[in-house]
Amino acid sequence: MVTAGDFRNGITVEMDGAIWQIIEFQHVKPGKGSPFVRTKLKNIISGGVVEKSFSPTEKFPQAHIDKSEYQYLYADDDFDYFMNTETYEQIQLTKETVGDALKFVKENEMVKLCSHNGNVFAIEPPLFVELLITESEPGVKGNTATGATKPAIVETGAKVMVPLFVEQGEKIKIDTRTGEYLSRV
């Protein structure tokens, strides 16, 4: 059990039949009245964010989140398939569970599956990936003073905005959290 007075960023708690992660917290001691803890909570299953206030003595059960390394194998029309590289156990997840998490991930790359009580609710791709540009318009020479960008399609099918000097057939490094171009490889 964790009390509201012990809240820290990143802690996960069970509340109202859901699992919440603390994004922000603030201990407030007003001049009049009793102190309270103002928090911003994110539902880790649905992704919704709410703001709530608690008495510092309120207690909540702490939710244990398992993060396991799995290899992304392949996808078909309905499912994405993953394998635990230690036990060779394979699991399949629906496209709804996976969402956009794999838009920068190639087959055979390692990802982290986040689960609570055996139910996978999220996939964490690697922070940075190197992908080949498969489609891109040629840049216009001399039009680089403004830091202009153009759309490019990478080998996974995702669209990325890249600088004008980046050409089709080049490998680029992408931040998977933001989907932004970082550099050429």
- For the question of whether the overall pTM of this predicted structure is more than 0.85, the answer is no
State whether 54 and 92 are in the same domain: no
Residue 29, domain CATH: 2.30.30.30
How many domains is the chain built from?
3
Q: Write out the residue range of the structural domain in which residue 112 sits.
A: 66-124
pLDDT tens readout for residues 67-96: 899 999 998 888 999 999 889 999 998 888
Residue 74, domain CATH: 2.40.50.140
Biggest distance spanned by C-alpha atoms of the chain:
66
pLDDT value, residue 116: 84
The average pLDDT across 18-28 equals 90
Show the CA angle centred on residue 97, arms to residues 96 and 100, nearest 5°.
Answer: 75
Show the CA angle centred on residue 51, arms to residues 46 and 56, nearest 5°.
Answer: 120
State whether 132 and 115 are in the same domain: no
**Which has the closest alpha carbon to 129: 170, 185, 74, 63?**
185
Report whether pLDDT(140) > 70: no
Report whether pLDDT(144) > 60: no
Report whether pLDDT(164) > 90: no
Report whether pLDDT(165) > 70: yes
Backbone CA torsion sign across 164, 168, 169, 173: positive
State whether 154 and 179 are in the same domain: yes
Domain stop point among 60, 83, 98:
60
Query: Distance between alpha carbon 1 and the CA centroid of its chain, in Å?
Result: 27
pLDDT value, residue 47: 78
